[in-house]
Structures are given as structure tokens and as C-alpha cells.
Amino acid sequence: MELLDTLNRPLHDLRISVTDRCNFRCTYCMPSEIFGRDYQFMPQDQLLSFEEIERLARVFVGLGARKLRLTGGEPLMRRDLESLISQLAAIPGVEDLAMTTNGSFPLARLESLKAAGLKRVSVSLDALDDETFMRMNDVDFPVQRVLDWVEASAAAGLGPVKVNMVVQRGVNEQAVLPMARYFKEKGHILRLIEYMDVGASNGWRLDDVVSARELRDLIHAELPIEPLEPNYRGEVANRYRYLDGEGEIGIIASVSQPFCGDCSRARLSADGKLYTCLFAIGGADLRSMLREGASDDELTEAIRGVWQKRADRYSELRSAATRDLPKVEMSYIGG
């Protein structure tokens, strides 16, 4: 019988954070004032090993998860990620195996990632001009190298490549149209993401969010679009196609039109905690169970129990009352 939570949502996707470290310091995610030289990242022995991740993933797949996504922090910071990918790709029942990356690692990695069994990549890029992008990644990383990664991913058969852009008012709104034009022309799917109040370090304010409606109007005025049907239940992006018949664009309205009702995602943090919402305060400690010798059946029952009790719908409840609740950082829980 299908595993459902208290709001009848199935467990369909598992996002696996493989590290809390990153070589970027995006101001909306890991601001350098907080994630500075002295910041204490997780020590190696607290991270799940690849064997531990594979074992948990197998249990999640047994409970209905069909899509796995590697994330972080920056997943490519984890040494020999290809070995984990090949273990995950071998799990019977896995229909999709994807990774979200900042696209900053050498292009040669794409061949080995593909050979290991990775199916798709999503790449994050917040502007087409170096001035804006470097201000946002805060490590002077140039746009062109990420664009090269996008093209090389598609050429390696890791498409359709989705490009994720977080839009912040007064920071990179002006980059939206150039990004839309560029990726339409190149045939990749741009997804505009409303800036979210994840974590406690980015100083989020509602005024900084450019709403999905504004984003749609901005695109439509220049490049006319019309809505498309979702591909599947739980798809987070509102999809639009360009009226000239060439390409599509997605808008992720996490703040202004929350989609908790269809949220089928579980998140596994790099230290083995199971979170049932991006905004959860705490997670179930699966690593301790693993290291104390729990059997697969015991792990299955523990995860089933957590999911059956799940009632999260933070974004639908977002209000002044939720604003000051403690939250975990995106780089820790995995975006």
C-alpha cells in the first residue's frame, strides 16, 4: 500500500545532501559574514559514508521514492561522488537520478558523472553579467564557466538541463530578461525561483521577493508566454511555453503560491537526518540508527513512522508568526 502522510501526500522524491560545504558564498544561501574562515562545517566522521547513503536510499526506494537528487552544499565538493552515483544508479526502482550543482567544477567531470549513471543536472546561475553574478556568488566566479558547464552537460547527455535562478529584488531583477532570452535561444529551461526565507543567516525580507506574478508579467511583456499543464503531480515549477513555439520557462512560486499540498519530497542531510520539509526545525536521526546496527526493516519502520506523521506545510502557513521560528540552513539540509 502506498505510504501517505497526514495530508495524503506520497513519498516520491528523496533529496540527498552529500556535504554542507561549498566553494561559493552566495549571499542568499551562505553569506560570507557567517560562513567565514572560522565556520565549523561538519567533521568528516559525521557525514554519512557512501555505503550508508546507498543503504538508506534503498530503504527510501522500498517505501516509494522514485526520484533521487544529489545536492548540498556543493555536491561536487564530495570526493569521488561518481562512486556514490554508481551505487545509487544500481538500486532497482530508481527512475531518475539527478544532481543540482553550481557548475563550477572542471568540465571533464561530466563524462565520469554520466558514465557512473547520473541522468540529469540542474545548474544554478543568477545572472548573465559578471558584475551581478560575482557579487552574488561572492567568490568572483565568472559567468562563462557556468555557461560552459550548461552546454557541456547537455552535450554529455545530461539534459534537458534546467538552469535555476534565484531572483532578489534590487540585486538581479535586471538579469531576468537577458537570462530568459539567452536560455530560450540555447534551448535550455530557465527556472526563476522566488527568494525564500530558508535558514536564519540570509536576512530575508518579504520585500526582497520578486513574486511569480511580477516575473511572469516581466517575461510576457517582452517574450509572450502561456501556461502549460504540469508534467506530474508535485511539480514545483509553474511551466510556461513561449508563444513563438520555441522553448519553455518555469517559475517557482514558493513564497507567493506555495505548493505544500503536493509536496512529496523527503530530505536527507549530510549527517543522516531525515527532514520532511525545507523549513523543518529538526530531523529524525537515521545515522545513529545505522551506526547502532539497525536492520533494514527497522529503518523502514522508522522512516514510515516519520512520514505517516508528516503534516508540514510551512509555506502555506508562512506569516508573521512563522517568521522567527528557528530553521536549518539550506546548505545543510540541501536545496
Residues in contact with ligand SAM by the rule CB under 6 A:
22, 28-29, 71-72, 74, 100-102, 124, 164, 166, 193, 195-196, 198, 202, 330-331, 335
Q: How far is the CB of 23 from ligand SAM (least distance, A)?
A: 9
CB closer to ligand SF4, 7 vs 155: 7
196 binds, among ligand SF4, ligand SAM, none (CB under 5 to 8 A by kind): ligand SAM
272 binds, among ligand SF4, ligand SAM, none (CB under 5 to 8 A by kind): none
- Does residue number 204 form part of the binding site for ligand SF4 (CB under 6 A)? no
The single-letter code of the amino acid at 320 is: A
- Does residue number 198 form part of the binding site for ligand SF4 (CB under 6 A)? no
- Does residue number 278 form part of the binding site for ligand SF4 (CB under 6 A)? yes
Q: How far is the CB of 241 from ligand SAM (least distance, A)?
A: 22
212 in Cβ contact with 251 (< 8 Å): yes
In the window 9-68, what residues touch ligand SF4 (CB under 6 A)? Answer: 22, 24-26, 29-30
CB-nearest residue to ligand SAM? 335
Task: Show the binding pattern over residues 81-120: x = contacts ligand SF4 (CB under 6 A), - = does not.
Answer: ---------------------x------------------
Burial class (CB in 10 A: 0-12, 13-18, 19+), 159: middle
270 in Cβ contact with 335 (< 8 Å): no
Q: Interface with ligand SF4 by CB under 6 A: which range of 71-79, 142-150, 298-306, 319-327?
A: 71-79
The single-letter code of the amino acid at 15 is: R
DSSP 153-194: HHHTT--SPEEEEEEBTTTTGGGHHHHHHHHHHHT-EEEEEE
- Does residue number 165 form part of the binding site for ligand SF4 (CB under 6 A)? no
- Does residue number 74 form part of the binding site for ligand SF4 (CB under 6 A)? yes
For residue 94, give every residue at least 6 positions away whose Cβ sits within 8 Å of its Cβ, in sequence order, or none: 57, 61, 66, 67, 68, 88
Crossing angle for the helix pair 50-62 and 296-309, to the nearest 10 degrees: 60
Closest listed residue to residue 138, CA positions, set 163, 102, 109: 102
78 in Cβ contact with 108 (< 8 Å): no
In the window 254-273, what residues touch ligand SF4 (CB under 6 A)? Answer: 258-260, 263
3-class secondary structure, 55: helix
Burial class (CB in 10 A: 0-12, 13-18, 19+), 140: exposed
Residues making contact with ligand SF4 (CB under 6 A): 22, 24-26, 29-30, 72-74, 102, 124, 258-260, 263, 277-279, 312-315, 331
